[in-house]
Amino acid sequence: MLWKDIVPSIVSSGYRAIAPDLPGFGGSDRFLNHPHTWENYINFVTSFLEGLQVGKTHLVLHDWGGLIGLRWSRMNPEKVLSLVVTDTVYCAD
């Protein structure tokens, strides 16, 4: 896991740190009954955060997670406190 050495530092600073493995990335299975679309990834992130009762959040985005997280952030600006963006690009609709 890319974040295994970073998460403990964030937690020791007093923050809750969550590092989801997006479907089809890392060790996670691909979407089983859904195509790999922006909408399905946005829905995944929304459902994931709601399931963990995450309100406003600081997002750290990297690589493909950056593409997905930036789109999610644009659609949910009221839930984003800050963004840290590394090694990614932004693609407008």
Position 78 pLDDT exceeds 90: yes
* Contacting residues for 77 by C-beta, under 8 A, at least 6 apart: none
User: Tell me: the pLDDT tens digits for 40-53?
Assistant: 999 999 999 999 99
User: Tell me: the pLDDT tens digits for 6-51?
Assistant: 999 999 999 999 999 899 988 889 998 889 898 999 999 999 999 9
Per the model's pLDDT, the better-predicted residue between 91 and 83 turns out to be 83
The partner residues of 60 in beta bridges, in order of sequence, read 84
Find the farthest-apart pair of alpha carbons in the chain and give their distance in angstroms, rounded: 39
Position 1 pLDDT exceeds 70: no
Tell me the pTM.
0.87
